Amino acid sequence: MPQVRIVLVETSHPGNIGSAARAMKTMGFHQLALVAPRQFPHPEATARAAGADDVLEGAKIYATLQEAIADCHLVIGTSARPRKVPWPSLTPRQCAELVKKEGALIKIAIVFGRERCGLTNQELDLCHYWLFIPCNLSFSSLNVAAAVQIVTYELHLASVESPWSVLSDSRLATQAELESFYAHLKQTLEDIGFIHSAKQGPSLMRRLRRLFGRIRLEKKEVDILRGILSCAQNPDRGKNRVQEID
């Protein structure tokens, strides 16, 4: 993880500091800097941190933004509105790419402004880049902790190399196993009287192939389905069978 410091400037509500600490920690970030917070520490901050107490306890408090970012090599300031002077700007995703590229060796600060009015122009002047979070332009009032959540989420995503895949390593059925299943299905549909003319079979089977083909059946699922087909072919035998399905 790169050394990223989250800097909150003159936060009014201590609950927002707690929520921001929680948001940071869920994404693996721990360095919090507070510039002239109105109330801190505060029970509401602790309550909303919901277990990110270590982030709150480690938070450093500064009188000015200049002091909070003095040792940083890259400073990115969040802004909700375009300013008069054009400035190098980033989306959260571009910010994450930049941090990923540069973050190994340098100290980085990402700065979030006041609840009501964000960062001043003078504070934004201290930043190398401005960061805009894409949002609904007719209601762009993102909560400060929500903004921290989005930015740290993008940083976290960029830091994990490969996408997080949780789906199974179960083996997919081979084409041959699928063909055996389709043959068994067709025979069963004839046995139970669902297909009762040669003319009708092909278009129905085409529909069912389309349907089951979409699933990408696993081998184990083919086994379950064929077990069901066997029971449908011979209900009495099914009733006496011992089954093992986990």
Residue 24 near residue 49 (C-beta atoms within 8 A)? no
Judged by CB, which is closer to a second copy: 19, or 46? Answer: 19
CA distance 8 to 144: 9
Calculate the CA 17 to chain-centre distance: 22
Site for a second copy in 51-70 (CB under 8 A): 51-52
Question: Cβ 230 to a second copy, closest distance in Å?
Answer: 9
Does position 202 bind a second copy by CB under 8 A?
no
Separation of alpha carbons 75 and 120, rounded Å: 15
Residue 192 near a second copy by CB under 8 A:
yes
Among 63, 71, 105, 164, binds a second copy (CB under 8 A): 164
Q: Which of 66, 170, 174, 187 binds a second copy (CB under 8 A)?
A: 170
224 binds a second copy (CB under 8 A): yes
Burial of 205 (0-12, 13-18, 19+ CB in 10 A): middle
Q: Does 31 bind a second copy (CB under 8 A)?
A: no
Q: How far is the CB of 68 from a second copy (least distance, A)?
A: 24
- Of 21, 16, 45, 18, whose CA–CA distance to 32 is shortest? 21
CB contact at 8 A, 143 and 17: no
Q: CB 64 → a second copy: shortest distance, Å?
A: 27
82 belongs to the binding site for a second copy (CB under 8 A): yes
Residue 177: CB atoms within 10 A of its CB come to: 17
- Which stretch in 97-105, 120-128, 171-179, 215-223 sits in contact with a second copy by CB under 8 A? 215-223
Based on the shown chain and the rule CB under 8 A, indicate whether residue 43 belongs to the binding site for a second copy: no
Interaction of residue 183 with a second copy, rule CB under 8 A? no
For 131, the 3-state DSSP assignment is strand
Write down the least CB distance from residue 144 to a second copy, Å.
Answer: 11
Q: How would you list the strands of the sheet with 60-62, edge to edge?
A: 60-62, 31-35, 3-9, 107-112, 74-78, 129-131, 89-90
CB of 132 to a second copy, least distance (A): 6
Point out which span in 62-70, 97-105, 119-127, 205-213 binds a second copy (CB under 8 A).
205-213
Site string for a second copy, 121-160 (x = CB under 8 A): ---------x-xxxxx--xxxxx-xx--xx--x--xx--x
Residue 221 sits in the site that holds a second copy (CB under 8 A): yes
Decide: is 207 part of the binding site for a second copy (CB under 8 A): yes
Q: DSSP H helical segments within 39-174, as ranges?
A: 43-49, 53-57, 65-68, 92-102, 121-125, 144-159
Up-side HSE of residue 117: CA atoms within 13 Å toward CB?
4
